[in-house]
Structure 1
């Protein structure tokens, strides 16, 4: 009788229950459940947790228009410049979606409006958002 093969990795990221929990947290960020997202991050979930597309919790909250969740994640150390696998940043996503309050929160947290493809500046130019171009110093 042979022993069962040992797994190559016992990382929690490969545990179906951990993957299910992560999906739940991504959904909370996407839907703007600020208190629960903050509680999970406070309990040890990484503020820069990303999904299989590289979208961070901050990206999801930004793109889906949840300024309070964005501020809570930023206050807990989320990286405002973390791009997803397509090179998109939270601030550019917020410009694209017309989420000016989120754009300002990310900008105030130090997000680089020139980062990513397309950048927030490129996106503001495309949509002729002069006020945001002024905010970015890119008029």
Structure 2
């Protein structure tokens, strides 16, 4: 099943989840199907898993989220899908900042519901 997520075999993986495979199945490193699909740049697979109940907030044993994986891979489509599904931008912001992925920081900051802590409205001396 994890190879299906890595390979972006959306139809086959979705059918397996529909047949009872847990949408949040994890491997021995704590990687979920969603994390693997996000890391390997398969937005259609990510969307299918999210629609079937995959938790966008789950992290692996290293504390990495699907959103952080998508940000690292600079996949804007997957980032948007995960943000729309409720993924917290804070889970990926350190990755984006560490690797200098300014376009990903901007994308997460422009998303509706993004924390306003990074906005221009931060208190300024008057």
Aligned to 2:17: 41
Unaligned runs of 5+ in 2: 110-117, 120-126
1:35-90 CA deviation, whole Å, 9 max, x = no partner?
Answer: 00000000000000000110000001000000000000000000001000111000
Deviation for aligned residue 1:99: 1.4
Post-superposition Cα deviations, 1:88-127, rounded to whole Å, max 9, x if no partner, equal 0000011111112111110111101213xxxx11112223
**What aligned pairs does 1:71-86 form with structure 2 within 5 A after superposition?**
71-86=47-62
Structure-2 residue corresponding to 1:133? 105
TM-score by length of structure 1 reads 0.75
1:92 is aligned to 68
Aligned positions of 1:1-139 closer than 5 A: 25-115=1-91, 120-137=92-109, 138=118
- C-alpha contact (below 8 Å) 2:17/2:52 kept by paired residues: yes
Bigger relative contact order, structure 1 or 2 (CA pairs below 8 A, ≥6 apart): 2
Q: Distance in 1 between matches of 2:82 and 2:69?
A: 11
Q: Whole-Å Cα distance in 2 between the matches of residues 42 and 60 of structure 1?
A: 19
Give the TM-score, by structure 2 length. 0.82
Q: Give 5+ residue unaligned stretches, structure 1.
A: 1-24
